[in-house]
């Protein structure tokens, strides 16, 4: 339908870089935490809690990036308004909600303003994805209706 412009290609490259570097960081997290804790001065007793929190939220973030990669394939091919993208947006909303929930639980054990901001941002991202999902769903319905009206 439309030609791929520079912004589409650049965004796809950035998502790929973030996805593959995220995998590397996620793999390194359990091994790097003791050194980071020692540097910051946090006791190693909380290592398991932080590892579960960071790996859980990291897996959700990688899942969101994977869904974005799937959606960008349809954008670059010129057909973004399909049911598959509606499903991808719903999955992104769920993953964002899980990240918000993980950090909300963390706030009960160790409150920080940064943690509260993460909860607020990922809750907003989840709501944004749900809204965008509904918009895409409506666009898919209009597109299918006009495809039959030729």
CA 19 – CA 33 distance, rounded (Å): 21
Domain span holding position 25: 6-148
pLDDT band at 44 (very low <50, low <70, confident <90, very high): confident
87 pLDDT higher than 80: yes
Indicate whether 46 belongs to any domain: yes
pLDDT band at 86 (very low <50, low <70, confident <90, very high): very high
Output the pLDDT for position 4. 66
Name the domain count of the chain: 1
**Full DSSP string of 8-62:** HHHHHHHHHHHHHHHHHHHHHHHHHHHHHHHHHT--GGGHHHHHHHHHHHHHHHH
Indicate whether 67 belongs to any domain: yes
The predicted model gives 104-120 an average pLDDT of 93
Indicate whether 117 belongs to any domain: yes
CA 125 – CA 127 distance, rounded (Å): 5
Indicate whether 1 belongs to any domain: no
Among 75, 120, 69, 73, residue whose Cα is nearest residue 91:
69
Report phi then psi at 43, rounded to 5: -65, 145
Output the pLDDT for position 144. 85
Indicate whether 61 belongs to any domain: yes
pLDDT band at 145 (very low <50, low <70, confident <90, very high): confident
The predicted model gives 114-142 an average pLDDT of 95
The predicted model gives 42-71 an average pLDDT of 90
CB 60 within 8 A of CB 96: yes
The predicted model gives 28-41 an average pLDDT of 86
pLDDT for 66-80, tens place per residue?
A: 999 999 888 888 888
CA 21 – CA 15 distance, rounded (Å): 10
Phi and psi based region of residue 8 (left: phi greater than 0; alpha: psi -120 to 50; beta: remaining): alpha
């Amino acid at each position: 339908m439309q030609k791929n412009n520079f912004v589409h290609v650049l965004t796809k490259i950035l998502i790929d870089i973030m996805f593959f570097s995220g995998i590397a960081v996620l793999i390194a997290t359990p091994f790097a935490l003791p050194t980071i804790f020692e540097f910051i001065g946090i006791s190693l007793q909380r290592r398991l809690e932080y590892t579960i929190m960071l790996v859980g939220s990291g897996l959700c973030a990688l899942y969101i990036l994977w869904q974005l990669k799937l959606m960008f394939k349809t954008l670059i091919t010129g057909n973004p308004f399909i049911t598959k993208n509606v499903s991808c947006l719903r999955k992104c909303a769920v993953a964002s909600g899980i990240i918000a929930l993980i950090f909300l639980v963390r706030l009960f054990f160790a409150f920080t303003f940064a943690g509260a901001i993460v909860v607020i941002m990922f809750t907003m991202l989840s709501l944004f994805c749900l809204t965008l999902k509904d918009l895409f769903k409506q666009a898919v319905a209009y597109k299918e209706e006009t495809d039959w009206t030729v």
